[in-house]
Structure formats: C-alpha cells, structure tokens
C-alpha cells in the first residue's frame, strides 16, 4: 500500500504541475487580454490550454482515487507538493528567481508532508489490527 501512495502522489504532482505550467504558457499566448471571439480563438489555438485541462482532469481523478485509501491529513499536505515542483520548473522555464523565501517554503512543505506521514504511520502502528475483520 505504501507504493500505491508514493506512485499516486507522484502522479498527482505530475498532473498538478502540468496544469500550472500549461496555464502559465497559455496565459503568455493569451495576451493581450480581450473578451471577444478573436481572443478565445487565440487561446484555444495553442496546445498549452489543453495541457492545463488534461492536468486538472488527471489531478482530479488521481486525487479522488487517493482519497479512497489515504488518510486525509497527510494526503492533503502531499497534494500540495506541486508547489515545490512548479517553483523549481518556473526557475528553469520562466527564469524566475530562486529566493531564500522560496527555499524555506519548499523545505517547510516537504517537512510538513514527512511529519504528517510519519505521524500517521505511528498512529497506524498503535491501532491493533483484527485479522478476522
């Protein structure tokens, strides 16, 4: 079951990251912003908007599958790992600066996920499991 969580949250992070990066690229091609038919055609003529849709749909179904089995606390924390991946990819793809604040934030997110998962594992070990249930 541990591998289910690891693989599942990696898939969730990949879909969420795809959605966020795709939206960023779609927004670049959507400029200048105007609410008319030409603007809609311009937005939907670039593949990045479809990457965003695929990312969000994939993330939704992955998240729903994970929630059937994963404890809510660690699952909710782990669902925000894309903040770290999007930050790292944004440095590379969009030349965004890596600041001390971003580094500290990423470390805190990772530590939060680790501590919540560790706490859940310890709580799970304390609960006696009935073989016949």
Range of the domain at 55: 2-126
Residue 43 placed within a domain: yes
Q: Domain count of the chain?
A: 1
Distances in Å between the alpha carbon of 37 and those of 22, 28, 40, 88, 90? 21, 18, 5, 35, 30
Q: Which of 63, 64, 114, 47 is nearest to 84 (CA)?
A: 114
Residue 55 placed within a domain: yes
Residue 34 placed within a domain: yes
Residue 40 placed within a domain: yes
Residue 6 placed within a domain: yes
Residue 132 placed within a domain: no
What are the structure tokens assigned to 66, written together? 């994970």
Full-model pTM: 0.79
Residue 104 placed within a domain: yes
Render pLDDT for 35-94 as a digit per residue (tens, 0 to 9): 888 888 888 888 999 999 999 999 999 999 988 888 777 788 778 889 999 999 999 999
């Amino acid at each position: 079951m541990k591998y289910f969580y690891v693989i599942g949250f990696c898939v969730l992070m990949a879909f969420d990251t795809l959605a966020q990066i795709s939206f960023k690229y779609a927004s670049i091609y959507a400029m200048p912003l105007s609410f008319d038919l030409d603007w809609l055609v311009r937005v939907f003529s670039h593949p990045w908007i479809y990457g965003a849709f695929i990312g969000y749909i994939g993330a939704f179904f992955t998240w729903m599958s994970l929630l059937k089995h994963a404890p809510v606390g660690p699952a909710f924390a782990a669902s925000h790992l894309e903040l770290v991946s999007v930050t790292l990819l944004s440095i590379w793809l969009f030349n965004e600066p890596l600041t001390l604040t971003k580094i500290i934030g990423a470390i805190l997110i990772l530590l939060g996920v680790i501590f919540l998962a560790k706490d859940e594992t310890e709580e799970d070990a304390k609960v006696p499991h009935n073989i016949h249930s």
